[in-house]
Amino acid sequence: MPPQLFERHRKRPRERSQWSETPPPTSLAFLWGARPSATSFFPFYTGKYLYFWKGNFNRLMVKTTLEVDDRLWKKFSMLVMRKKGFRRKNEVIEQLIRDYVESEAPYEMSDAMLSFDEERAAFEGMKDSLLMNDTLRGKHVAVLHGKVVDSDANRNSLIERAYKKHGYVPIFFGFVGAERTVEVPSPEVRRGS
């Protein structure tokens, strides 16, 4: 059997997968850096996407459908087959998406920003209960992995301590009280305008 055909018919190695009982995520923020917290044996389908855990990479994946011009798809398939071998189209498409995201939003869409948004959302979610807490009301809190890990009346001390303890990682520092508003009112005139 020619090597290509052997490759084509070879059984794919089974992946040790972890399936999640967590409700289907609604935002991209959940897709990155997500970790399975519970295990079951069923994937979940939201009506639009099929979600599943890919055990090898320990992250949540999504299965989606693309509509592509037939000739374009055939050309793409042949090119991938020639250059990369069989069953590599997913890999190439994922890399193309990754390159696009990197080039279009190198900073905003970074994993760090998404993690920060998750921590911020966690803080917003628990803010009401924090306000009921006499020891935390009026203080700044550090939120990491969705939990309050430290608090202090002095924001700068808290930031310094938190980065020292947990490293320079996305941590949300929120105030348990009224939100802060700052003014940067200076209008500027550009030369020539």
Partner 1 sequence: MRYDTTNYHPPAPIVDVKVFRPNARTHEVGMGKLDTGADMTVIPVSWVRRLRLLPSGVVTVTGYDASSAKREIYPVRIELGRFQFPSLEVLASNREDALIGRDILNELNVSLNGKELTFELTDP
Chain contacts with partner 1 (rule: CB under 8 A) = 106-107, 112-113, 116, 120, 155-156, 159-160, 163-164, 168-175, 179-187, 189, 191
Q: Are 4 and 86 in contact (CB under 8 A)?
A: yes
Q: Using CA atoms in the order 42, 46, 50, 56, what is the torsion angle rounded to 10 degrees?
A: -60
Element (H, E) at 63: strand 59-63
CA angle 43, 52, 115 (to 5 degrees): 135
- Residue closer to partner 1 (CB basis): 44 or 175: 175
Provide the minimum distance between the beta carbon of 93 and partner 1 in the complex, in angstroms, as a whole number: 27
- Residue closer to partner 1 (CB basis): 28 or 78: 28
- Residue closer to partner 1 (CB basis): 148 or 174: 174
Sheet holding 44-45, edge to edge: 44-45, 50-54, 59-63
- Residue closer to partner 1 (CB basis): 83 or 180: 180
Provide the minimum distance between the beta carbon of 189 and partner 1 in the complex, in angstroms, as a whole number: 7
- Residue closer to partner 1 (CB basis): 41 or 168: 168
Provide the minimum distance between the beta carbon of 95 and partner 1 in the complex, in angstroms, as a whole number: 23
Question: Strand 50-54 to strand 44-45: parallel, antiparallel, or no bridges (unpaired)?
Answer: antiparallel
Provide the minimum distance between the beta carbon of 108 and partner 1 in the complex, in angstroms, as a whole number: 10
Nearest to residue 51, comparing CAs of 68, 30, 70? Answer: 30
Provide the minimum distance between the beta carbon of 57 and partner 1 in the complex, in angstroms, as a whole number: 24
Q: Are 77 and 89 in contact (CB under 8 A)?
A: yes
